[in-house]
A = this chain, B = another copy of it.
Amino acid sequence: MHYSVSLIGSGNVAWHLSQALEKAGHQVREIYSRTPGHAERVAEKLYDAQVVTSLDFSESESDVFLLCVSDDAIGRVADELILPDEDAVVCHTSGTQPLDLLAGREHAGVFYPLQTFTSNRRLDLTTVPFCIESTDQHTEQVLVGIAQSISRTVYLVDAQERKMLHVGAVFACNFTNHLLALSRHLLAQEGLEFGLLKPLVRETFEKALEAADPATVQTGPAVREDYQVIHAHLDYLQRTPHWQALYKSITDSIVLLSRRG
Q: In the complex, are the beta carbons of A190 and B171 less than 8 A apart?
A: no
- The smallest C-beta distance from A86 to any residue of chain B, in angstroms, reads 31
User: Using a CB-CB cutoff of 8 Å, which residues 151-194 of chain A contact chain B?
Assistant: 153, 155, 157, 160-161, 163-187, 189-190, 192, 194
Question: Is residue A199 within 8 Å, beta carbon to beta carbon, of the partner chain?
Answer: yes
Q: In the complex, are the beta carbons of A127 and B199 less than 8 A apart?
A: yes
One complex includes copies of this chain to the number of 2
Q: In the complex, are the beta carbons of B174 and A218 less than 8 A apart?
A: yes
> Which one of B166, B184, B209, B226 contacts A214 once the chains associate, using CB atoms below 8 Å?
B184
Question: Is residue A103 within 8 Å, beta carbon to beta carbon, of the partner chain?
Answer: no
Q: In the complex, are the beta carbons of B217 and A177 less than 8 A apart?
A: yes
User: Using a CB-CB cutoff of 8 Å, which residues 123-159 of chain A contact chain B?
Assistant: 123, 127-129, 153, 155, 157
Q: Could you tell me the distance between the alpha carbons of A116 and B184 in the complex, rounded to whole angstroms?
A: 18
Q: Could you tell me the distance between the alpha carbons of A7 and B161 in the complex, rounded to whole angstroms?
A: 51
Binds B, one of A23-31, A46-54, A56-64, A237-245: A237-245
Question: Is residue A215 within 8 Å, beta carbon to beta carbon, of the partner chain?
Answer: yes
Q: In the complex, are the beta carbons of A236 and B116 less than 8 A apart?
A: no
Q: In the complex, are the beta carbons of B174 and A96 less than 8 A apart?
A: no
Q: In the complex, are the beta carbons of A201 and B220 less than 8 A apart?
A: no
Give the bracket for the number of chain A residues in contact with chain B. Answer: 35 or more
- A231-255 contact mask (Cβ, 8 Å, vs B): 1 or 0: 0110011000011011101101110
Q: In the complex, are the beta carbons of A168 and B186 less than 8 A apart?
A: yes
Give every chain B residue within 8 A of A19 (Cβ-Cβ): none
Q: In the complex, are the beta carbons of B181 and A165 less than 8 A apart?
A: no
Q: In the complex, are the beta carbons of A164 and B177 less than 8 A apart?
A: no
Of chain B, the residue at the smallest CB distance from A121 is B207
Q: In the complex, are the beta carbons of B179 and A165 less than 8 A apart?
A: no
**Nearest 7 A-B pairs (CB), nearest first?**
A174-B220, A172-B183, A181-B215, A173-B204, A180-B214, A181-B214, A176-B176
13 contacts between A and B (CB under 8 A): A72-B226, A115-B203, A116-B204, A118-B217, A127-B199, A164-B187, A164-B189, A166-B233, A168-B192, A169-B197, A170-B220, A175-B254, A181-B214
